[in-house]
Structure 1
Amino acid sequence: MARERILSGMRPTGRLHIGHLSVIENWVRLQEEHECYYFIADWHALTTAYDDPSELQENIRSMLVDWLSAGLNPERSTIFVQSHVKEHAELHLLFSMITPLSWLERVPTYKDQVQQLGQEGKDISTYGFLGYPLLQAADILIYRASAVPVGEDQLPHLEFCREVARRFNHLYKVPLFPEPKALLSRVALLPGIDGRKMSKSYRNDIPLGATPEEVREKVRLMITDPTRIHKSDPGHPEVCVVHTYHEIYNREEIEETRASCRAGAIGCVACKRRLADRVNEVLEPLRERRQRLLQRPELLQDILHAGAARAREVAGSTIAEVRAAMGV
């Protein structure tokens, strides 16, 4: 029985942090049972970072190393860089001929992000940014993926992809593209150390490649219960960022940690020390694998080269059928 084909990717816009780890761990689980394609979306990165691509190649390398360190296996998954498979761009172009402009303009995140990034001084009122959901659809449909692991916030994008597939199949009277389903990912949503969304730009992240000392310093700066003045004051773990991390990384001791906090039996300094130790335990195997990989740049290039070659075989077959259907 054929394995279900899965497609997912990430934009190389900066270093990965531990908020990404649960996503990658989900990918690692999927690769054991499915035919998985995971790509580094460098063209998508340019939709918002077109004015300064100076770090793009380093971000690509760093992302690959983080993926491999966290357990992605190039023998089980096809791992590649988006721009190394030109068929993505061709399918995007051909889809643009049949996609109504109104479909792109109604994507929920479009106007929100244009406004939000505009307030930060970034102009993304570009054709590329308007069309990025269509490029996403091409990324998925070029492999005729049957499922995509997504969070709930990405469901509108996947439904857009399904609409494009339906329109193509209807216009050209060919059942070429499946309508990919969502694999809702139950991944841990970690806040930044200041309680906001974790982001490199906020400097509130814990990088996957952080040293033990960096982890301890980041945890030391975490926001705790503002009502606790003294060590013996009763705490309110539900409002504490440190406790949120304990729930994910220290599950076996979470009840004891929560009770000690409420009773004022453990101070914030000791609680943070316990968390930092646990986070370092989680990251240590990744650090070791990361160091080994960084010493083998030729291996990293070989993995991307082989992944792109495998991806092009599938993408080339799809684009040939698309050309035939569209008469080009």
Structure 2
Amino acid sequence: MSVARMLTGDRPTGRLHLGHYVGSIANRVRLHQRYESFFIIADLHMLTTRNTREDIERVAGNAREMVTDVLAAGVDPARATFYLQSAIPEVGDLNTLLQNLVTVPRLERVPSLKDMARDSGKEEMPYGLLGYPVLQAADILCVKGQVVPVGRDNAAHVEVTREIARRFNNLYGPVFPIPELIQADTPSLVGTDGAAKMSKSRGNTILLSDDAATVRRKVMGMYTDPNRVRADVPGRVEGNPVFAYHDVFNPDRAQVEDLKERYRGGRVGDVEVKEKLAVALNRFLDPIRERRARIEDDRGLVDQLIVEGTERTRREVRQTVTEVRRAMGLTSAYTQVRRRAERAGRAVAGSR
């Protein structure tokens, strides 16, 4: 490969939000110009926590929305390959071949898996969720990804991938590159409720596709300092979601520092702080909305990108699986059996 490859993506569970943007999309926009970029629509991963018929029926629509959000955020469609994970069965083949290179205790130490089970209401860990990092390793290694931009939750998953790649190469030969993890500048973003990270399942998100009025409404309802009952009461900036968003999305640093100083001194109300945040967020989202409108006007573009990307990726994955099977000796095992069967067949035919 003359150009290094990047693998990234999301589960198709709905539209993307600001948490996705700071956790990974900003890095994707920045990096995809430098790398040959594959964007996975990870619907098999979705099945680990959402696997009803209704969930699956929503995959196609959610996939379109997800790709539209990524393009609207600034990814150039000419420099990105989007593909639907479930449409490439060879990914499952590679997952099967890799799963014996990691132990159950190692997977149980991945911290985010228990959180995912809890957040999805699972009382016990499904087998597929425990193996989530192995399937993710198959995703990365099937296209020989060398760069993986992820949020904090997936950092431990990528480390499992690195371990599996090293173990495979040591056992069978140098087939896989060892992928490099690139973490976001802002690892995660607290939700508008201030209780946990921004998450679709919690309903505490600001979507990349929200219109200006919706953004303002959500911002005005944001959690702030619960001990601050009046504007003249000194407030706490640290841990305050409104100021966390100002720090990330408001480029007017002088304004942000002035608001913080006055907030700590009890000289500004929550309404003014939130109003200025809504203005900053809408200013940030306006170019994304404009690009989204252009993409939606180009009917068939997103579906075509997914189909062409999936077909291209499947060719790549087939080649990788062939290399893996050859390195492991699996192809020679069957070849030996087949040749013996053919020789036996010829011997029987010759004796007649």
TM-score relative to the length of structure 2? 0.84
Residues 130 and 214 of structure 1, relative CA distance in 2, 3 Å threshold: same
* 1:267 corresponds to: 269
Are 2:85 and 1:82 aligned? yes
* 1:104 corresponds to: 107
Residues 302 and 124 of structure 1, relative CA distance in 2, 3 Å threshold: farther
Shift of 1:111: 4.3
What is the CA–CA distance in structure 2 between the aligned matches of 1:50 and 1:76, rounded to whole Å?
Answer: 32
Query: Does the residue aligned with 2:78 lie in a helix, a strand or coil?
Result: coil
User: After the TM superposition, which of the residue ranges 221-230 and 191-200 deviates more from structure 2?
Assistant: 221-230
1:164-203 map, 5 Å? 164-172=164-172, 174-187=173-186, 189-196=188-195, 197-203=197-203
What is the CA–CA distance in structure 1 between the aligned matches of 2:114 and 2:242, rounded to whole Å?
Answer: 34
* 1:49 corresponds to: 50
* 1:139 corresponds to: 139
What is the CA–CA distance in structure 1 between the aligned matches of 2:187 and 2:219, rounded to whole Å?
Answer: 18
The question of whether the paired residues in 2 share the 8 Å contact of 1:79 and 1:304 is answered with yes
User: After the TM superposition, which of the residue ranges 230-239 and 3-12 deviates more from structure 2?
Assistant: 230-239
Q: Percent identity among equivalent residues?
A: 42
What is the CA–CA distance in structure 1 between the aligned matches of 2:240 and 2:159, rounded to whole Å?
Answer: 36
* 1:295 corresponds to: 297
The question of whether the paired residues in 1 share the 8 Å contact of 2:190 and 2:198 is answered with yes
Residues 82 and 225 of structure 1, relative CA distance in 2, 3 Å threshold: same
What is the CA–CA distance in structure 2 between the aligned matches of 1:99 and 1:229, rounded to whole Å?
Answer: 53
Shift of 1:100: 4.1
Residues 188 and 272 of structure 1, relative CA distance in 2, 3 Å threshold: farther
CA deviations 1:166-209 (Å, max 9, x no partner) are 2322332x211122222222136321111022122222111111
What is the CA–CA distance in structure 2 between the aligned matches of 1:124 and 1:150, rounded to whole Å?
Answer: 26
What is the CA–CA distance in structure 2 between the aligned matches of 1:256 and 1:190, rounded to whole Å?
Answer: 22
The question of whether the paired residues in 1 share the 8 Å contact of 2:18 and 2:208 is answered with yes
What is the CA–CA distance in structure 2 between the aligned matches of 1:200 and 1:165, rounded to whole Å?
Answer: 32
Q: Which amino acid aligns with 1:80?
A: Y
The question of whether the paired residues in 2 share the 8 Å contact of 1:245 and 1:275 is answered with yes
* 1:67 corresponds to: 70
Residues 240 and 99 of structure 1, relative CA distance in 2, 3 Å threshold: closer
Aligned-residue Cα RMSD (Å) equals 2.2
What is the CA–CA distance in structure 2 between the aligned matches of 1:108 and 1:246, rounded to whole Å?
Answer: 29
The question of whether the paired residues in 1 share the 8 Å contact of 2:112 and 2:153 is answered with no
Larger radius of gyration: 2
Shift of 1:10: 1.0
CA deviations 1:276-300 (Å, max 9, x no partner) are 1111111122122222322334111
What is the CA–CA distance in structure 2 between the aligned matches of 1:242 and 1:163, rounded to whole Å?
Answer: 39
Residues 152 and 267 of structure 1, relative CA distance in 2, 3 Å threshold: closer
What is the CA–CA distance in structure 1 between the aligned matches of 2:32 and 2:85, rounded to whole Å?
Answer: 19
Unaligned runs of 5+ in 1: none
* 1:284 corresponds to: 286
Shift of 1:135: 0.6
1:104-123 map, 5 Å? 104-114=107-117, 116-117=118-119, 121-122=121-122
Are 2:62 and 1:33 aligned? no
Shift of 1:65: 0.8
Residues 105 and 232 of structure 1, relative CA distance in 2, 3 Å threshold: closer
The question of whether the paired residues in 2 share the 8 Å contact of 1:47 and 1:124 is answered with no
What is the CA–CA distance in structure 1 between the aligned matches of 2:312 and 2:264, rounded to whole Å?
Answer: 55
Shift of 1:7: 1.1
* 1:11 corresponds to: 11
Q: Number of aligned pairs?
A: 324
User: After the TM superposition, which of the residue ranges 39-48 and 102-111 deviates more from structure 2?
Assistant: 102-111
Unaligned runs of 5+ in 2: 332-352
What is the CA–CA distance in structure 2 between the aligned matches of 1:240 and 1:108, rounded to whole Å?
Answer: 26
What is the CA–CA distance in structure 2 between the aligned matches of 1:231 and 1:106, rounded to whole Å?
Answer: 46
Residues 236 and 132 of structure 1, relative CA distance in 2, 3 Å threshold: closer
What is the CA–CA distance in structure 2 between the aligned matches of 1:155 and 1:124, rounded to whole Å?
Answer: 23
Shift of 1:6: 1.4
